[in-house]
Structure 1
Amino acid sequence: MLAIESIPKGFVQAHDTPLGRLAYVINDLRTNITLADSPLSPEARQLLEDATRLVNGLDPYMSLMTSPHPPILDKMIKAGDEMDWKQLHEQGKTKFELIPEMTSGSYEAVVLQQLAKTAKAKTILEIGMFTGTSTVSFALLPAVDRVVTLELEDFLADFSRPYFEEAGVSQKINVKVGDARESLDQLATEGMTFDMIFIDADKAGYSAYYHKILDNELLALGGTIVVDNTAYKGTPWAPDPSYHLGSAIHAFNEDVRNDPRVEVVMLPVRDGISLIRRKGE
């Protein structure tokens, strides 16, 4: 009961996941019906209230019932939320205009840590670091020896470094700045392999990253590829003009699903997470 009461009554989902879009639609419908003084039956109004509470309460309840995230993430997420990303881009400090929603949140950080533990990962490759919340979460695991993270933006490498140092894991993290495709080729040339690979970068590049990983044998024997945002706001099956990458994500999902080398399962965690493993391992 304590957890349920802890969910704010007026809580509204962020509009950045399939569930968030659904919550937005339901809340908007509820508001419009109220303003229009629609002659709905009491039963229909109660159903709408129930739907609102169900969809608005799911994410906060799951967060409440999940083990605590690393405390350093609170500082990192706050700094990312308060950063004027638009101004940074206008000043030429970033190549692209970034947004706070690009970060892996505190709940997903715990999910990723559990996946790394399950995979018994000692070496982790991350493609797309942003503010480094997932990076530091991986590095904080005692069993993890090394995290190599590929990031396009120089600014983000500088931004995240103090937090890595404060968390006491900077020695475990190697940030490679540049085009991830070139960095993947370099890692392959060096003969590197990783027990777990996390892809959370530009969505249009997912297929290219995926094929470079498998073709260059960067995934260690028995390793797992974890891909974020594979349900991308629900747009692969319910397009929305606000989001233009749904078709790219759908193409990637089909590419993986039809690849005879692997097995994949998509999980409804936040904006969708896919777990990919080679067959027979």
Structure 2
Amino acid sequence: MQDYMYDPAYRHLLKAKEIAQKENVIPELQTEINRSIELFQQKINYCDDQTIPPSPALHSLITDTLAYPWSDAYKEGRVSYSVDTAMLSGNSEAQLIKSITSASKARMVLEIGLFTGCASLAMAEALPAEGKVVALELDQGIADVARSFLDKSPAGNKIEIITGPAIESLEKLAEKKTKFDVIFMDANKEGYVPYYKMIFEKDLLASGGTLIVDNVLKNGDTYSGEHSDSKSWAITNFNELVLQDNRVHKVMLPLRDGVYIIRRKEDTDASVPEKKGDLNYIK
């Protein structure tokens, strides 16, 4: 899916274009509608052109993901669900995540929702030699495909894949007292609220750490009110939870399908005293 297609305004413009053509409205109005549609596309293309291109390894992973016969894999039972390649983070978002990872001087990184490893590889490329990405993936078949892609890359050896339900994997990581400098959440949307609560209640995010959450606009459903499914409502509820959580500093970016950048307030505001132990996040 092209990034501009996430925007409901773009989809409504397409509908307006169709109506204008059927009703034979004045040419000037049709011209303005067409120009507005073009500008949606041109803005995304311009931003992409101004963003550093992916490394050869990341480019290869993205290309391999798009070319992989996912429908055959699903029909043959090698993966447990029908894959949409729009699940791929894409270069612009991968470079944002890579920048945050680099600026954080991160050594331990967590991705909740691996898919084929686009974001994990981008973060791994920013880590020092001894750095590590722990990537959680529900489906063993998809994890196997991701592993085959990642093993082709110079930084792939920094990535450990854990398969199974993410909430169980997070519990095990918490039991080991594992802490992460950066956490990227891009898994099943109904799991966002419990994942968020566990991250903070179990202290999985290291002091000074950053939580990055994907798909927080959910095709525009969260602000248009045009909720299309339970996933849209799950994201809306998650966003409200974060908004009401006065312990965190947050900024939402309209990049692709929406990205939330979340940090503890004591890490962003010098006037907030550092908190120890249970942060009493919203239950």
TM-score by length of 1: 0.87
Mapping for residues 69-148 of structure 1, pairs under 5 Å: 69-143=54-128, 145-148=131-134
1:60 is aligned to 45
Instruction: Indicate conservation of the 8 Å contact 1:23/1:56, yes or no.
Output: no
Q: CA deviation at 1:14?
A: 5.2
Instruction: Indicate conservation of the 8 Å contact 2:94/2:122, yes or no.
Output: yes
SS in structure 1 of the partner of residue 266 of structure 2 = coil
1:265 is aligned to 251
2:6 is aligned to 17
Cα deviations by residue, 1:111-165 (Å, 9 ceiling, x for unpaired) = 1111212222221100000011111111111437110001111112211223222
Q: CA deviation at 1:15?
A: 6.6
Q: Which runs of 5+ in 2 are unaligned?
A: 268-283
* CA–CA separation in structure 1 for the residues paired with 2:162 and 2:3: 31
Count of aligned residue pairs for this structure pair? 266
Cα deviations by residue, 1:87-123 (Å, 9 ceiling, x for unpaired) = 3223222222221111111121111111212222221
* CA–CA separation in structure 1 for the residues paired with 2:91 and 2:155: 18
1:5 is aligned to none
2:277 is aligned to none
Instruction: Indicate conservation of the 8 Å contact 2:221/2:227, yes or no.
Output: no
Q: Given the superposition, is the C-alpha separation of residues 32 and 71 from structure 1 closer, same or farther in structure 2, using an over 3 Å criterion?
A: farther
Instruction: Indicate conservation of the 8 Å contact 1:139/1:172, yes or no.
Output: yes
Q: Which moved more, 1:44-53 or 1:61-70?
A: 44-53
* CA–CA separation in structure 2 for the residues paired with 1:142 and 1:92: 35
Q: Given the superposition, is the C-alpha separation of residues 15 and 55 from structure 1 closer, same or farther in structure 2, using an over 3 Å criterion?
A: closer
* CA–CA separation in structure 2 for the residues paired with 1:202 and 1:166: 27
Instruction: Indicate conservation of the 8 Å contact 2:183/2:210, yes or no.
Output: yes
Q: Given the superposition, is the C-alpha separation of residues 67 and 15 from structure 1 closer, same or farther in structure 2, using an over 3 Å criterion?
A: closer
Instruction: Indicate conservation of the 8 Å contact 1:13/1:24, yes or no.
Output: no
Instruction: Indicate conservation of the 8 Å contact 1:136/1:164, yes or no.
Output: yes
- 1:27 and 2:23 are equivalent in the alignment: no
* CA–CA separation in structure 1 for the residues paired with 2:26 and 2:94: 42
Instruction: Indicate conservation of the 8 Å contact 2:115/2:137, yes or no.
Output: yes
Mapping for residues 246-261 of structure 1, pairs under 5 Å: 246-261=232-247
In the alignment, residue 194 of structure 2 is paired with which amino acid? A
In the alignment, residue 17 of structure 1 is paired with which amino acid? Y
- 1:187 and 2:187 are equivalent in the alignment: no
Identity of aligned residues (%): 32
1:222 is aligned to 208
In the alignment, residue 122 of structure 1 is paired with which amino acid? R
Q: Given the superposition, is the C-alpha separation of residues 242 and 255 from structure 1 closer, same or farther in structure 2, using an over 3 Å criterion?
A: closer
* CA–CA separation in structure 2 for the residues paired with 1:53 and 1:135: 33
Cα deviations by residue, 1:14-62 (Å, 9 ceiling, x for unpaired) = 57522xx33233234224423x2523262x3332233122112111110
1:235 is aligned to 221
1:154 is aligned to 140
* CA–CA separation in structure 2 for the residues paired with 1:37 and 1:232: 32
In the alignment, residue 51 of structure 1 is paired with which amino acid? S
Instruction: Indicate conservation of the 8 Å contact 2:107/2:127, yes or no.
Output: no
Instruction: Indicate conservation of the 8 Å contact 1:239/1:246, yes or no.
Output: no
In the alignment, residue 50 of structure 1 is paired with which amino acid? R
* CA–CA separation in structure 1 for the residues paired with 2:157 and 2:263: 29
SS in structure 2 of the partner of residue 214 of structure 1 = helix
* CA–CA separation in structure 2 for the residues paired with 1:29 and 1:186: 51
SS in structure 2 of the partner of residue 39 of structure 1 = coil
Q: Which runs of 5+ in 1 are unaligned?
A: 1-11
SS in structure 2 of the partner of residue 140 of structure 1 = helix
Q: Given the superposition, is the C-alpha separation of residues 234 and 196 from structure 1 closer, same or farther in structure 2, using an over 3 Å criterion?
A: same
Instruction: Indicate conservation of the 8 Å contact 2:227/2:233, yes or no.
Output: no
Q: CA deviation at 1:240?
A: 4.2
